Structure 1
Amino acid sequence: MESGGGGGGKHFILVHGLSHGGWCWYKVVARLRAAGHRATALDMAASGVDPARLHEVASFEEYSRPLLDAVAAAPDGERLVLVGHSLGGLNVALAMERFPSKVAAAVFLAASMPRVGSHMGITIEEFMETIEPGFFMDSETMVLNTEQGPRNAVLFGPNLLAAKVYDQCPAEDLELAKLLLRPGSQFMEDPMMKDETLLTDGNYGSVKRVFVIAKADGSSTEDAQRRMVDLSPGAEVEEIAGADHMAMLSKPTELCEVLLKIANKYD
């Protein structure tokens, strides 16, 4: 999903979280376009309407390929604002490491924000340590047989979505998610997720990072979100009151205001 804006506008590339697709950004895309900017809402591999099946995606890099290709294809001189939601923060981090000169700022929306010196998967490990048994409620967990070996995957259940993910969203958006969600994987078995040397100060660490706290996130406390910031020196913070985990759907106008503020600051 790509929308054009007027000349001189910013270009935002929006990356969804686990099991979602570019469709979840539809309200934000419309608002950014109305404000005269470009917005590209991508589907990662085997997500949204991407034709691949999850068991066919060999690695986290392959899963991230739509984003890496989009950033690589950006014209010289066009500096992007990358926005990653939830797991999408790790896709954005990889793009920052590969193409730091093309990224004006990276926004982590209630997202996994890794840090230099630690492997990317630690953000997921730390989250899993904080949740209570039964957190995933009626979600379906599965093991995929892939050419690389077994891979864990999950499909979020409707009760989980209603209680902890879409709890401040309009009912229509919850129903949309029930129709469009696909099984997702965090690729924790991938060696890339365990590589402590992957992210470097010179590349990833050189890009401006802003963490956006969703203050009413039912899947992650505000304290947990702030701890991620505390572990990432140099990251700035914005916050959105009343935003659940799907802030792009529960508080799209407020999120767009934050995104435009960040884009204007780091032109």
Structure 2
Amino acid sequence: MEKRTYLLVHGGSHGGWCWRDVAAHLRAAGHFVLTPTQTGLGERRHLMSRDITLETFVDDIVNVIEAEELEDVYLVGHSFGGCAVVGVAERMPQRLRHLVFLDSLIPMSGQSIMSGLPPDVQEARLAAADKFSGGLCTPVPPATNFGLSREREGDALMDWVERRLTPQPLKTYLTSLTLANPVGNGVPATYVRCTDPLYPIVTPSAELARLQPGWDYREIATCHDAMISAPRELADMLLAVNAI
């Protein structure tokens, strides 16, 4: 197999740390892998600010591609990370080889992520952010919110995840991207749905992906945080993704 460049984008409240085992498998197979952390999360939590928007997250990934002078990128976005993937494809499709949406949200032009959530979920998240931080960020969710369990993953792995999770900038839920092109901007794409258990919040995005002309749709029988619960299986799936 040709040597590939994988750029793995984490989801909400996570950081580049969550790709540790997937990245190890991909590197062992001879590929170049980057796992950046978006502004205000993970080891960059000290940068938390009311100025962080969806565009900030897109800037984070665009700047990595530019600074590292990457070409033919396999750009993978998990969960909230799908928003950055869509934004990057809008700005620089010529630098991308393939998009992979891992159980991810797919934002619509001009619509915030919050507006796409059920009303009761919207209300709960806004109330939690207000109580936790005066509306700056949402509180750290338990690892079980992502389908992980101590029975299946074990105490050591669960403790590691819970130590690493951080608050999510609220404004990333409330702001939107403006897209002049269809989602994906013509870059070949694959949507990977995690099915055991299903993560209901991304269901509308998964159904949208099924309807996208030319997109591949696959499933993996593990929880929403597949990069933690099934890293080898996920890495094998990423290795099997081929540009169209």
Give the TM-score of the pair, scaled to structure 2: 0.83
Give per-residue Cα distances to partners, 1:74-110, cap 9 Å, x unaligned. Answer: 437x200011011000011111111100100111101
User: Which residue in the other structure is 1:125 paired with?
Assistant: 115
Match among 56, 64, 73 for residue 70 of structure 1 = 64
> 1:1-267 to 2 correspondence within 5 Å?
8-50=2-44, 52-55=46-49, 57-75=51-69, 78-115=71-108, 118-121=109-112, 123-129=113-119, 140-142=128-130, 151=135, 153-158=137-142, 161-162=143-144, 164-167=146-149, 168-185=152-169, 187-190=172-175, 193=176, 197-201=178-182, 204-220=184-200, 224=204, 226-230=206-210, 232-241=212-221, 243-262=222-241, 265-266=242-243
Q: Which structure 1 segments of 5+ residues have no match?
A: 1-6
CA shift, 1:143, in A, is: 6.8
Take 2:51 and 2:188, find their aligned partners in 1: how far apart are those partners? 30
Query: Contact 2:82–2:104 at 8 Å: present in 1 too?
Result: yes
Query: Contact 2:148–2:223 at 8 Å: present in 1 too?
Result: yes
User: Which residue in the other structure is 1:3 paired with?
Assistant: none
Give per-residue Cα distances to partners, 1:106-125, cap 9 Å, x unaligned. Answer: 1110101235xx4352x543
CA shift, 1:140, in A, is: 4.9
Q: 1:129 to 1:110 in 2, by over 3 A?
A: farther
More deviation, 81-90/229-238: 229-238
Q: Which amino acid aligns with 1:60?
A: L
Q: 1:239 to 1:124 in 2, by over 3 A?
A: farther
Q: Which structure 2 segments of 5+ residues have no match?
A: none
Q: 1:221 to 1:50 in 2, by over 3 A?
A: closer
Take 1:157 and 1:208, find their aligned partners in 2: how far apart are those partners? 33
Give the TM-score of the pair, scaled to structure 1: 0.77
Q: Which has the higher helix share?
A: 2
CA shift, 1:36, in A, is: 0.5
Q: Which amino acid aligns with 1:105?
A: H
Q: Which amino acid aligns with 1:141?
A: A
- How many percent of aligned residue pairs carry the same amino acid? 25
Query: Contact 1:163–1:218 at 8 Å: present in 2 too?
Result: no
Q: Which amino acid aligns with 2:10?
A: H
CA shift, 1:173, in A, is: 2.5
| Structure with more relative contact order (C-alpha pairs < 8 Å, separation 6 or more) | 2
- The alignment partner of 1:83 has SS state of strand
